[in-house]
Structure 1
Amino acid sequence: MSGFDSNPFVDPVDVNPFQDPSITQATSGAAENNGEFNPFSAIDMGNHTGTTIPVSGSSSQPAVLPTSVEQSAQASAAAGQADLIRQQEELERKAAELERKEQELQNRAAGRATNTGAKENNWPPLPKFFPVNPCFYQDFEEDIPEEYRRICKRMYYLWMFHSATLFLNVMACLAYFTADAQNGVDFGLSILWFLLFTPVSFICWYRPVYKAFRSDSSFSFFFFFFVFFFQVAVYIIQCVGIPKWGNSGWIASISMIRINLAVAVVMMVVAGFFTVNACLGVILLKMVHSKYRRTGASFSKAQQEFSQGVLTSRTVQNVAAGAATSAAQGAFGRSQGN
C-alpha cells in the first residue's frame, strides 16, 4: 500500500537545483560584491583613473599661458627700464647744460670784476687820430648770454636803422624845402630830430636793454619798456607825417604829388622807412617782453636795484654829504646868532 501512497508526479529524489554548490557560491559572491560596490568611492576611482581620463592631454594644454604672461612681463619691464634710461640721460644732459651756462656766467662775472679797469671803451669805433674817444664798451660775445644775444643784436640793428632813417628824413625835408620855401620849418626840425634823437635813443633805450640782458637787471628792463613805448609812439607820428612837425611822413609826401612828383617819391620812401621802424619797434618790444618774463625779473626787484644803486652812487653820496654839511653849518650859525 505504501507504493500507492506515493505521489507519482513527485521526483523520487527531492533535489533543489538552487542548492547546487557552484550556484550558491556564485550567488553569494555576487550579493556580497553588489552590496559593497560604490561607484563613487575613492578606491574605485583611483583604480580606473589611469584608464578612463587622458591625463597627458589635459595637463599639457594650459602650458602656453604661463609662457605668454612671462614674456609680456619681461617686455614691459624692458620698456620701463629703457624709458628710465632715456629720462636719466635727458636729465644728465640738462644738468650739464645748466652747469655750463652757470660756469660761463661765473667766468664772465669774474672777467668783469678783474678787467674792469683794463677794458677800454670801443664804441663808437672812431679812428685813433679823432679828437673824441669812444664813450661806451660793447661786446656781444663777451657780455651778452647766448640765449639773449640775437635779440640784443636786433635791437642794435634797429637803432642803426632808426639813425639812418632820421638822416634820410633830413634829406627828404631838404628836398621838401627846395620845392616849396614855406616848408623851411620842417627842414630845421628834421635837423634837430636827427641831432637829438640819434644819441638820446642810444642812451635811453638801446643801452638799457643791453645792460638788462648783460646783468639781468630788472630796473634796466623797466626803464627800457617805459622809454621804448614812447619811441614806438614817435615812430607812428613820424610815419603819419603831420605838416610843420619836421617829418617826411605819408601826409606830407602825398601833399607833394601835385607840386613835385620827384620830391613826393623821395618823401614816400622815407615815410616807408618810418613805417618799417614802427612795425619793427612793436615786434621787438614784444620779443624783449617775452625774454623779460623768462628772466624772473619783477617790479619789486627793480625797486630794490634802484634803491641800492642810489645808495651806492658816489655822486648821490657826495650830494647828500654836501647837503647835510650845509644844513649843519646853517643850524650852527643860527644857534651862534641866538
Structure 2
Amino acid sequence: MSGFDSNPFVDPVDINPFQDASVTQVTSGVTESIGDFNPFTAPDRGSHTGTTIPISAASSQPAVLQTSVEQSPQATAAAAQANLIKQQEELERKAAELERKEQELQNRQTAGTTTNTGVKENNWPPLPKFFPMKPCFYQDFDEEIPEEYRRICKRMYYLWMFHSTTLFLNVLACLAYFIASSTHGVDFGLSILWFILFTPVSFICWYRPVYKAFRSDSSFSFFFFFFVFFFQVAVYIIQTVGIPQWGNSGWIAAISMINANVAVAVVMMVVAGFFTVNAILAIILLKMVHSKYRRTGASFSKAQQEFSQGVLTNRTFQTAAASAATSAAQGAFSQN
C-alpha cells in the first residue's frame, strides 16, 4: 500500500544523466589521455602508429579544377570562320555542277538532239539536214542504256548492221547469178524485195524491242523480242541453206554454180558465208540476251500487265473505244 501513497501531482526529482558513475568514468579517462598526448613527439608517434588511418582508406577522388564552359572570343571567331569556309566550298561545288549540266545541255542543243523545251529529238537514222526525211527514232546508248546492258545492246545493233550488209551483198550475188543464167531472174527480184523489206522490219521488230527492253526493263519488250527473233534465226538458217528460187545466195545455190561459172560461185559462197555468220551470231546473242533477261526479274505476268496498261493508256485505243461506245449508244437509242 506504500506504493500508492506517493502523490502523482508532485514534480519528479531532477536526474542528471551525465552524473551517472559510468559516464563520468569514461569522460574523465578520455580527457586525461587527450591531455597527455602530444602528436609532435617522436615516441608518441611511434606508439600510435597502429591507430593511423591507411592511405587506401582515404578518399581516392582527386581534386578537379572546374574550368569555365564559355569559349573565348578567339575560339568562337575561328569556329565561325571555318564554318563559312565550309559553306563557301559547298556553294562552289554546287555552282560547278550546275555549270557542267548547263554545258551538257548546250552541247545537246548544238548537236540537235534536244529542243529548247528539253524534249529529245530523234537522231536515228543520222540523215543530213538537207534531206527531206527526218530521223524516226532516238538512240543513245550512253544515256539511255544502263552500263550493265550497254555492251550486249550494242552487239545487237552491230548484228542488225551486219544483217543489212548481208542482204545488200545478197542482191549483188543474185544479180551475178541472174547474169550467169537468165533462168534465175526470180532470185534477183526476191533478193531486192528481201533487202527493202527485211532491213527496216528487222530494225523495228527485233532490234528496237530489245533496245527498249534494256532501256526500261520492260518484260513485254523482252517477250516480243524473243518471239520475233526466234523466227529471224529460222530465216537466217533458210538463207544459209540457199534454196533455189527463194532469192537467197546460200550454199546450195552457190555449189550449183561451180560447174557453170566459178567466179559467180565464189561470190555466192562468200554471201553464203555471211548468212552462216549471221545465223551463228544470232544464236549466240539470243542466249546472251536470255541470260540477261533472267537476271532482270522479268516474267510473263509482268508482260501481260505492261501490255494491258499500255493498251488502256494508248490515246489511239482510247479514241477508238470512245467512238465505238458512242456509235453503239446511238444505235441503241435509234432502235428504241
The equivalent of 2:250 in structure 1 is 249
Secondary structure at the residue paired with 1:185?
Answer: helix
The equivalent of 1:226 in structure 2 is 227
Q: Does 1:287 align with 2:323?
A: no
Q: 1:327, 1:140 → 2: CA distance? A: 47
Q: Does 1:170 align with 2:171?
A: yes
The equivalent of 2:213 in structure 1 is 212
Secondary structure at the residue paired with 1:230?
Answer: helix
The equivalent of 2:126 in structure 1 is 125
The equivalent of 2:142 in structure 1 is 141
The equivalent of 2:109 in structure 1 is none
The equivalent of 2:273 in structure 1 is 272
Aligned-residue sequence identity (percent) comes to: 86
Q: Which amino acid aligns with 1:157?
A: Y
The equivalent of 1:29 in structure 2 is none
How far has the Cα of 1:115 moved from its partner?
Answer: 9.5
How far has the Cα of 1:313 moved from its partner?
Answer: 0.4
Alpha-carbon spacing, 1:300–1:116, altered in 2? closer, same or farther (3 Å): farther
Q: Which amino acid aligns with 1:304?
A: Q
Q: Which amino acid aligns with 1:125?
A: P
Q: 1:254, 1:332 → 2: CA distance? A: 71
Secondary structure at the residue paired with 1:118?
Answer: coil
Larger Rg: 1
The equivalent of 1:202 in structure 2 is 203
How far has the Cα of 1:334 moved from its partner?
Answer: 1.1
- Count of residue pairs brought into register by the alignment: 222
Q: 1:150, 1:253 → 2: CA distance? A: 35
Q: 1:307, 1:177 → 2: CA distance? A: 49
Q: Which amino acid aligns with 1:185?
A: V
How far has the Cα of 1:117 moved from its partner?
Answer: 5.8
Alpha-carbon spacing, 1:143–1:277, altered in 2? closer, same or farther (3 Å): same
Q: 1:133, 1:117 → 2: CA distance? A: 19
Q: 1:148, 1:116 → 2: CA distance? A: 29
Consecutive aligned runs of 4 or more in structure 1 exceeding 3 Å deviation: 114-117
Q: 1:192, 1:324 → 2: CA distance? A: 41
The equivalent of 1:10 in structure 2 is none
Give me the CA root mean square deviation: 1.3
Q: 1:304, 1:115 → 2: CA distance? A: 35
Q: 1:142, 1:229 → 2: CA distance? A: 29
Alpha-carbon spacing, 1:180–1:145, altered in 2? closer, same or farther (3 Å): same
The equivalent of 1:82 in structure 2 is none
The equivalent of 2:323 in structure 1 is 322
The equivalent of 2:194 in structure 1 is 193
Residue deviations 1:273-300 (CA, integer Å, cap 9, x gap): 0000000000000000000000000000
TM norm structure 2: 0.65
Q: 1:240, 1:322 → 2: CA distance? A: 50
Q: 1:182, 1:205 → 2: CA distance? A: 35
TM norm structure 1: 0.65
Q: 1:219, 1:171 → 2: CA distance? A: 38
The equivalent of 2:181 in structure 1 is 180
How far has the Cα of 1:329 moved from its partner?
Answer: 1.0
How far has the Cα of 1:246 moved from its partner?
Answer: 0.2
Q: 2:116, 2:223 → 1: CA distance? A: 28
Q: 1:192, 1:334 → 2: CA distance? A: 51
How far has the Cα of 1:195 moved from its partner?
Answer: 0.3
The equivalent of 2:262 in structure 1 is 261
Residue deviations 1:114-153 (CA, integer Å, cap 9, x gap): 9996211000000000000000000000000000000000
Alpha-carbon spacing, 1:118–1:239, altered in 2? closer, same or farther (3 Å): same
Residue deviations 1:49-81 (CA, integer Å, cap 9, x gap): xxxxxxxxxxxxxxxxxxxxxxxxxxxxxxxxx
Gap runs ≥5 in structure 1: 1-113
Q: Which amino acid aligns with 1:145?
A: P
